[in-house]
Amino acid sequence: MVLYKIWGEKMKVRRSDRLIDMTRYLLENPHTLIPLTFFADRYESAKSSISEDLTIIKRTFKDRGTGVLETIPGASGGSRFLPYILKDEAIEVVDNLIEQMATPQRYLPGGYVYMSDLLGNPKILRQIGRIFATQYLNQEIDAIMTVSTKGVPIAQSVANYLNIPFVIVRHDIEITEGPTVNVNYVSGSSERISKMSLSKRSLKPKSKVLIVDDYMRGGGTIGGMASIVKEFDAELVGVAVVAESTVSKERSISNYTSLMRVDAKDNAVYAQNGNYLDKIYND
Amino acid sequence: MVLYKIWGEKMKVRRSDRLIDMTRYLLENPHTLIPLTFFADRYESAKSSISEDLTIIKRTFKDRGTGVLETIPGASGGSRFLPYILKDEAIEVVDNLIEQMATPQRYLPGGYVYMSDLLGNPKILRQIGRIFATQYLNQEIDAIMTVSTKGVPIAQSVANYLNIPFVIVRHDIEITEGPTVNVNYVSGSSERISKMSLSKRSLKPKSKVLIVDDYMRGGGTIGGMASIVKEFDAELVGVAVVAESTVSKERSISNYTSLMRVDAKDNAVYAQNGNYLDKIYND
């Protein structure tokens, strides 16, 4: 009995160790197929034990709303972790964002809204990244595209969960970007012609591109990025923004996902749900 | 015996579930004190069981080089996860960076280096973030500061591991930043006077600030950020850059950490270790 206990404890420790480290590894390598042999070698364990571990992790990830752990059987099989966020948790996240947005302190002259603090908060960025990564859980995307400066944190967070690169379109032309592709676009808010550019090296032709940004007003900037996608002979798979302003006139971009609809007038900021529930959780 | 087995299995499942979910929770909330009661409530488990779980996680995190799990005993106690990267793994990461940097394809006219692809790669960003977070593991920092555009991904990654906000200094003045504090600085590379600005709302006085950037040439940009820190009545605790160029003349900034020393000349790019081993792993 004593021996059994010791053996039992030893086994327990082994499995615990594997479960903890496998969880960490899977979380840090989302959307990546990890062969069974990788874990078997790493822990000097039988593949059958690793399979059991994965079954346990899969169940816990599902029960706790962490994501899907796909398991691919066979010799070339393995597992792939696809992070998501469940509807209830997403609603909680966006409700919290809305509450933080709708304060008069954020009002800026001209109907602009201050939200740089939210876009510099790692926890909020992780949550936003998880929501957009949920929408594109099963879709092939090669790169995220955004425009400097405030779109960058959003792009990085989504890219982190989808484990794909992000590229940054710039309004200025920087020497460290090398040769660039440039487009002109009409800035919706001021009806003025502006220029944006992307390094020629940054995007392969035929890439499937998801455009993300922090704030969409008239949609001109997003439209500019869409024409850059075209110039690169790449394919636009979607547009995701944290906030869209409530505008009266029609936008050039009609298919997009937004977390919030924001209105700034008379020294106050109003915020409500964007279209994300329909776009992401419509089934 | 049968009953015992069933009971044993049931217990095993419970503990497995907790270990997996606690690991995820701790990884997603670094540098945060999690009360024992939080986990006890979440899993409807006794505090003594949670304590045992934490002991197992602590050991695995240590064995696998994931980080320190601090456990604070007592009624108001709990646990805090401080992610780090061990010296050997950091060396591997930087060696890989150096190898990727030192290719003639990255050479740009004027002795500049193209590295936007590396700064748009989530895996590389995570690794860089972990290295700099290791240096400031036990130091109190309130905010990371960087300058747009290419510093932003580095700032975000370090901020993510330290779980603190980051703020973005800009070369242009954006309407959505509200009132700003502006400074002039001498751009080292061109000896020209430039301007940079930071939103007044973004940084509290007395904040302890870590400056990060992607590339340091003359140090003028970093010096400009240091004067912004001063203007905010805040305190500069450190400077961390991914790459520094090999320059002959002395920099205005002398105390910094760099991962690489990079030289671009005659259509080639040369890269070697920066001073990070001395700065981070000197004990």
Summarize pLDDT for B158-196 with one digit per residue, the tens: 999 999 999 999 998 888 899 999 999 987 666 789 999
Please name the CATH architecture into which domain B87-280 falls: 3-Layer(aba) Sandwich (3.40)
pLDDT in tens, A160-200: 999 999 999 999 888 889 999 999 998 766 678 999 999 99
pLDDT at A190: 66
- B78-83 and B34-35 strand pairing: antiparallel
Residue whose pair of structure tokens reads 């032309």 in the numeric block: A173
* Average pLDDT across chain A, whole number: 92
Going from the C-alpha of B183 to that of each of B98, B192, B251, B263, the distances in angstroms are 34, 14, 19, 29
- Helices B151-162 & A151-162 angle (0-180, nearest 10): 60
Instruction: Determine the CATH number of domain A2-83.
Output: 1.10.10.10
Q: Cβ distance B36 to B18 under 8 Å?
A: no
R_g of chain B computed on alpha carbons: 22
**Residues in Cβ contact with A82 at an 8 Å cutoff, skipping those fewer than 6 apart:** A30, A31, A67, A68, A69, A70, A137, A138
Report which DSSP code applies to A170. Answer: B
First and final C-alpha spacing in chain B:
53
Give the side-chain half-sphere CA count within 13 A for B161: 27
Is the C-alpha dihedral spanning A164, A159, A150, B147 positive or negative? negative
- Name the 3-class secondary structure at B117: coil
Average pLDDT over residues A258-277: 96
pLDDT at A262 over 90: yes
Helix (H) or strand (E) holding A252: none
Is the C-alpha dihedral spanning B132, A16, B69, A159 positive or negative? positive
- Name the 3-class secondary structure at B205: coil
| A202, closest residue in chain B (CA to CA) | B117
B110: chain A residues, CB-CB within 8 Å: 175
Of A23, A152, A157, the CB nearest to B23: A23
Q: How far apart are CA B135 and CA B258, in angstroms?
A: 12
Of A23, A125, A178, the CB nearest to B108: A178
Does the structure's ipTM exceed the value 0.90?
Answer: yes
pLDDT at A133: 98
pLDDT at B10: 47
Q: Retrieve residue A12's tokens.
A: 């327990």
Q: Which percentage of chain A shows pLDDT scores above 70?
A: 93
First and final C-alpha spacing in chain A:
53
Q: How far apart are CA B165 and CA B207, in angstroms?
A: 11
pLDDT at B1: 31
pLDDT at B259: 98
Where do the structural domains in chain A lie, given as residue ranges? 2-83, 87-280
CA distance B117 to chain A (A): 6
Going from the C-alpha of A185 to that of each of A147, A191, A194, A213, A251, the distances in angstroms are 13, 9, 5, 16, 14
What pTM, to 2 d.p., does this model score? 0.94
B176/A126 CB distance under 8 A: no
Of A64, A108, A202, the CB nearest to B117: A202
pLDDT at B3: 38
- Name the 3-class secondary structure at A203: coil
**B211 closest CA partner among B186, B191, B230, B188:** B230
A116/B61 CB distance under 8 A: no
Q: How far apart are CA A262 and CA A247, in angstroms?
A: 10
pLDDT in tens, chain B (283 residues): 333 444 444 444 589 999 999 999 999 999 999 999 999 999 999 999 999 999 999 999 999 999 999 999 877 789 999 999 999 999 999 999 999 999 999 999 988 999 999 999 999 999 999 999 999 999 999 999 999 999 999 999 999 999 999 999 999 888 889 999 999 998 766 678 999 999 999 999 999 999 999 999 989 999 999 999 999 999 999 999 999 998 767 787 889 999 999 999 999 999 999 999 999 998 6
B23/A28 CB distance under 8 A: no
pLDDT band at A248, cuts 50/70/90? low
Q: Is A137 exposed, middle or buried (0-12, 13-18, 19+ CB in 10 A)?
A: middle
CA distance B282 to chain A (A): 28
- Helices A151-162 & B122-135 angle (0-180, nearest 10): 110
Residue whose pair of structure tokens reads 């070698």 in the numeric block: A41
- B166-169 and B78-83 strand pairing: unpaired
